[in-house]
């Protein structure tokens, strides 16, 4: 009954807002607000998939004469959408040839075999992989390796002791948290980053370059990984075990099973390295070759196209059938978020929010930004971070305009906060995956997560105040 009620309540609220003879703001604004209320209700409750909800603007903006189908449809094929599409393709190719597992095992093998060093190895390898492939896929890759290590220590002479349990708990939580944080480091690392980049490009004609995002994201991720490591190994779950016999052998055994690096892996690694190099040195390449106009999206699509063209022993390494694992729903969700943001802008709602804050400026910019970061971070514990950024971005842009501060400087830390959900299993897929391992209880995740949530908020406030203004222009 609850499901049916929510299914009906969404469109009913929309109809009341659209057809009511009483104007709340204006006729056009009320229509957009009605559709926004419908989408927010369905996004929060997830009564249908969030990707299905994202199709509402494409379907109903033309019906209510908010925008024509020709005006709405381009948002679902926005350049930012294809930036993420290309990144997805390269990540899938990386997974298909098992290169991601080889990278992870080598990092863990390098860090050492004491409990703290093993956890550090898992944190570093998980975070690094999550920069380039989805945090869900990263967690799925790392979990079997972690299981093997835990099984190894539980099969020794003294069995699965309390100290071993602390290690297992730290390891599982570390994988989930590192997967969440690692995605923040790059623009393609996690969907909320792309939603923000798309919003800024479509509404303010500003393109966040791959390098500029990394200048913010990488330092933040490194500091957070250090905090996670310190909290898990030195504060909450400190172990007194000297070293784990056999862990090195286990990791080396896994590497031996993979064998030496294959030609397939080398080809995919070459494509991946090419794309990363071009992203980092895009400006220099464009200056060096007159007439060339490389963009982050173009580079991403070149990498994706190259993956489809690699031939080994008479057969293609990566085929179109392999894209069945591509999260098409997330790509549709980008379009829905961008369409909604444009509708809110055209309806004058963003300006209205800005004017309200401009005429009621009683709180400091720092305090308001801190509140927005905190609200975003704790909200994402309960609902999709992608949907939250799609909802919050236009509103925060209006707040920034009202406060007469840079939209970029305020929006970036708020969007980054959406990837810092550490308390609850349902907050992110990595949290849910490691919770299902059976080594973690909800209270243990919540106990650790609340500390990391507070650390994240404090760090994001520092970045808002001191770091982001040095990197991003203050004129937008």
Tens digits of per-residue pLDDT, 266-278? Answer: 999 899 889 888 8
Q: What is the pLDDT of residue 12?
A: 93
How does residue 301 score in pLDDT terms, banded at 50, 70 and 90?
A: very high
Q: What is the pLDDT of residue 362?
A: 66
Handedness of CA 268, 271, 274, 278 (dihedral sign): negative
How does residue 360 score in pLDDT terms, banded at 50, 70 and 90?
A: low
Q: What is the pLDDT of residue 127?
A: 95
Q: What is the pLDDT of residue 66?
A: 87
Q: Which two tokens stand for residue 184?
A: 């923040």
How does residue 226 score in pLDDT terms, banded at 50, 70 and 90?
A: very high
Q: What is the pLDDT of residue 295?
A: 85
How does residue 464 score in pLDDT terms, banded at 50, 70 and 90?
A: very high
Mean pLDDT of the 160-168 span: 78
How does residue 191 score in pLDDT terms, banded at 50, 70 and 90?
A: confident
Residue 412 lies in a domain: no
- pLDDT of 261 over the 70 cut: yes
Mean pLDDT of the 442-471 span: 93
pLDDT tens digits for range 19-48: 877 777 778 888 888 998 898 888 878 788
- pLDDT of 136 over the 90 cut: no
Q: What is the DSSP string of 353-364?
A: HHHHHHHS--S-
Residue 418 lies in a domain: no
Residues in the chain: 476
Residue 148 lies in a domain: yes
- pLDDT of 206 over the 70 cut: yes
pLDDT tens digits for range 377-430: 988 887 778 888 888 888 888 888 888 888 899 999 999 999 998 988 878 888
Residue 213 lies in a domain: yes
- Coil, helix or strand at residue 312: strand
Q: Which of 137-141, 208-212, 329-333 has the highest mean pLDDT?
A: 208-212
Give CA–CA dist 260/205, Å, rounded: 47
Number of domains the chain is built from = 1
How does residue 246 score in pLDDT terms, banded at 50, 70 and 90?
A: low
Q: What is the pLDDT of residue 242?
A: 60
pLDDT tens digits for range 327-352: 788 788 878 888 888 888 788 777 77
- pLDDT of 457 over the 90 cut: yes
Q: Which DSSP symbol is given to 423?
A: S
Domain span holding position 306: 79-325
Q: What is the mean pLDDT of the chain?
A: 85
Mean pLDDT of the 37-65 span: 87
Q: Alpha carbon 147 to chain centroid distance?
A: 25
How does residue 117 score in pLDDT terms, banded at 50, 70 and 90?
A: confident
Q: What is the pLDDT of residue 131?
A: 92
Identify the burial level of 83 via C-beta atoms within 10 angstroms of its C-beta, where 0-12 means exposed, 13-18 middle and 19 or more buried: buried
Listed residue (417, 414, 327, 309) closest to 88, CA to CA: 327
Residue 19 lies in a domain: no
How does residue 244 score in pLDDT terms, banded at 50, 70 and 90?
A: low
Higher-scoring residue by pLDDT: 70, 429: 70
Q: Which of 131-145, 352-366, 401-415 has the highest mean pLDDT?
A: 401-415
Residue 29 lies in a domain: no
Q: What is the pLDDT of residue 227?
A: 96
Residue 222 lies in a domain: yes
Residue 210 lies in a domain: yes
Give CA–CA dist 55/61, Å, rounded: 10
Give CA–CA dist 286/290, Å, rounded: 7
Mean pLDDT of the 239-243 span: 66
Handedness of CA 279, 331, 452, 377 (dihedral sign): positive
Q: Which two tokens stand for residue 17?
A: 């807002």
Are the CB atoms for 122 and 171 separated by under 8 Å?
A: yes
Are the CB atoms for 197 and 208 separated by under 8 Å?
A: yes
Higher-scoring residue by pLDDT: 174, 260: 174
Work out the percent of the chain whose per-residue pLDDT is above 90: 25
């Amino acid at each position: 009954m609850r499901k049916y009620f929510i299914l009906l309540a969404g469109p009913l609220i929309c109809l009341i807002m659209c057809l009511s003879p009483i104007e709340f703001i204006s006729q056009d604004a009320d229509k957009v607000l009605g559709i926004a209320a419908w989408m927010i209700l369905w996004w929060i409750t997830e009564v249908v998939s969030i990707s299905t909800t994202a199709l509402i603007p494409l379907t109903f903006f033309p019906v209510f004469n908010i925008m024509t189908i020709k005006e709405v449809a381009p948002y679902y094929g926005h350049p930012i959408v294809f930036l993420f599409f290309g990144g997805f393709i390269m990540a899938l190719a990386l997974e298909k040839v098992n290169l991601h597992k080889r990278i992870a095992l080598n990092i863990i093998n390098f860090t050492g075999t004491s409990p703290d060093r093993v956890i550090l190895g898992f944190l570093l390898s998980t975070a690094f992989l999550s920069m380039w492939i989805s945090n869900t896929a990263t967690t799925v890759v790392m979990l079997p390796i972690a299981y093997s290590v835990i099984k190894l220590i539980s099969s020794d002479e003294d069995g699965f002791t309390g100290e071993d349990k602390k290690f297992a708990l730290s390891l599982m939580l570390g994988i989930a948290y590192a997967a969440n944080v690692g995605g923040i480091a790059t623009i393609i690392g996690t969907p909320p980053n792309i939603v923000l980049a798309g919003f800024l490009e479509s509404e303010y004609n500003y393109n966040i370059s791959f390098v500029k995002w990394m200048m913010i994201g990488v330092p933040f991720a490194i500091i957070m990984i250090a905090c996670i490591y310190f909290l898990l190994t030195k504060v909450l779950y400190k172990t007194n075990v000297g070293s784990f016999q056999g862990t090195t052998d286990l990791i080396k055994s896994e590497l031996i099973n993979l064998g030496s690096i294959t030609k397939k892996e080398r080809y995919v690694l070459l494509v991946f390295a090419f794309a990363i190099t071009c992203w980092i040195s895009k400006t220099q390449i464009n200056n060096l070759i007159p007439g060339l106009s490389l963009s982050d999206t173009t580079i991403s699509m070149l990498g994706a196209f190259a993956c489809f063209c690699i031939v080994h022993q008479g057969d293609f390494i990566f085929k179109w059938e392999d894209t069945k694992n591509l999260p098409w729903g997330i790509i549709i969700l980008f379009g829905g978020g961008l369409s909604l943001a444009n509708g809110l802008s055209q309806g004058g709602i963003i300006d209205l929010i800005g004017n309200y804050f401009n005429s009621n400026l009683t709180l400091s910019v720092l305090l308001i930004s801190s509140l927005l970061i905190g609200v975003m971070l704790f909200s994402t514990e309960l609902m999709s971070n992608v949907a939250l950024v799609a909802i919050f971005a236009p509103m925060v842009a209006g707040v920034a305009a009202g406060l007469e501060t840079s939209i970029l400087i305020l929006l970036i830390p708020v969007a980054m906060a959406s990837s810092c959900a550490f308390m609850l299993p349902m907050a992110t897929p990595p949290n849910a995956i490691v919770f299902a391992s059976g080594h973690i209880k909800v209270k243990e995740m919540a106990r650790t997560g609340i500390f990391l949530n507070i650390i994240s908020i404090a760090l994001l406030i520092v970045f808002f105040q001191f770091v982001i203004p040095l990197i991003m222009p203050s004129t937008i």
